[in-house]
Copies of this chain bind each other. A is one copy, B any other.
Amino acid sequence: MKVDTARFLADLNDLRRIGAYKTGVHRPTYSAEDMESRRWLMARMEECGLDPAIDGIGNVIGRHRGPGPHLLAGSHIESQNQAGWLDGALGVVAALALARAGLPVDVAAWADEEGHYGGFLGSRSYIGELSEEEIDRLANRYHGKKLREALREAGLEGKPRLALEPGRHRAFLEMHIEQGTQLESAGLRIGVVTGIVAIWQWRIVIEGSQDHAGGTTMAERRDAGLTAVRLLAEIDRHFPTVCGPRSTWTCGRIALEPGAPSIIPGRAEILFQFRDVEEEVLRRMETRLRALIQESNRREKCPARLEPMALSRPALCDPALQSALAGAAEALAPGAWQHMPSGAGHDAQYLARHMPAAMLFVPSIGGISHHWSEDTKEEDLALGVEVLAKGAARYLAG
């Protein structure tokens, strides 16, 4: 089994021409460019001896014609607006390269991972977690077009939706750019992903009294903004003692009302999230957050309350798959790889609910992602697909 890395790079550059924008691409889900890229992919699948099909949500799946056991591999092919050429496309073209190398792989391009209409529509549809009611309801987040209308215009209306075939696939593999700088800063070329983090997103609401900043003494005040600052400072002090080695926590917004220079804030709203691949770590962080809020409510005159906005589940990568990929990485790039979590979401997190799944990362130059200047060195792209293929072969043989 030998991967044709030159052909792989040529395919990537070929696909890059569809919806080209500067050095990146602009292929929003179901746009003319996106649909052209799906047709391009189906033609490539034919060439590799796969049976291509496009379904009612836009998923393109190329079915291996031979006997199993099979692997499923892929990613998404649409892009964010005026974004990079590799995000999504890399995983799809890498899966194609595996099939071309003779591995028993079904290749998938999952629709709308990027969330122009809903996020992860294709992978969720495939595992049975996208209802017709949700499709009725969804609309484009930028221009408001209804999803049903977009599907009709793309010629997908009325097509059946493809679904998971229990027992057909031994595992799902997704190659992706890192979208961060960890590999680059460590001088590494491959990341074997341990899991895709869960995001626990909270809203913290603090109620005080809106008063004039001139007429109200410090002792009389019920300053919701000050309570917010004290609480966030406590979180900053305490979270390092309960987090895991790769946890992250972020306060993205602090809104004080009414937000005027001379008015004591009567209300504060904080957006706060934390991420980890381990449920136990997430629960530990939640416990500490709740304790800090309780402590704040004992100490402060402005009560704070915690509202969960979205609590996703972490998706752990399969240990045997990780081990096969790690073995391949060590064979092809000794010492130049590491295990690492994925901080961002990927289609693999949905597939992982139904089969062993794993992901392989290659470095992002400067960590740039969701921008047209996103890039990765050709030798890293080539090494990545070789590790992916070797890992897949090891896993199937193991």
Contacts and interface: CB of A to CB of B under 8 A. Distances in A.
Given A225-B254, A253-B259, A214 B197 contact: yes
Contacts of A343: 212-216
Contact of A251 (B185, B211, B225): B225
B273 A213 contact: yes
Contacts of A217: 180, 182, 246, 248
Interface in A43-68: none
Given A233-B233, A248-B217, A251-B225, A211 B261 contact: no
Contacts of A332: none
B215 A367 contact: yes
Contacts of A251: 225-226, 229, 256, 265
A23 to B, nearest CB: 20
A186 to B, nearest CB: 11
Given A229-B229, A229-B233, A252 B213 contact: yes
A207 interface: no
A271 interface: yes
A34 interface: no
A229 B236 contact: yes
A343 B263 CA distance: 12
A261 B233 contact: no
Contacts of A261: 201, 250, 252-253, 271, 273, 309
Interface string A223-245: 10110011011001000100100
A185 B178 CA distance: 61
Contacts of A201: 261
A131 interface: no
Of listed A182, A229, A232, A240, residue having the most chain B CB within 10 A: A229
Contacts of A369: 212, 215
27 contacts: A180-B212, A180-B214, A180-B215, A182-B220, A212-B343, A212-B370, A213-B248, A213-B252, A213-B273, A213-B343, A214-B342, A214-B344, A215-B344, A217-B246, A218-B248, A218-B249, A225-B252, A226-B236, A226-B251, A229-B251, A250-B261, A250-B262, A251-B256, A252-B263, A254-B254, A261-B273, A261-B309
Given A197-B214, A211-B367, A225-B251, 13 more contacts: A179-B212, A180-B215, A181-B216, A212-B370, A213-B248, A214-B275, A216-B343, A217-B248, A226-B251, A232-B233, A252-B259, A253-B259, A254-B254
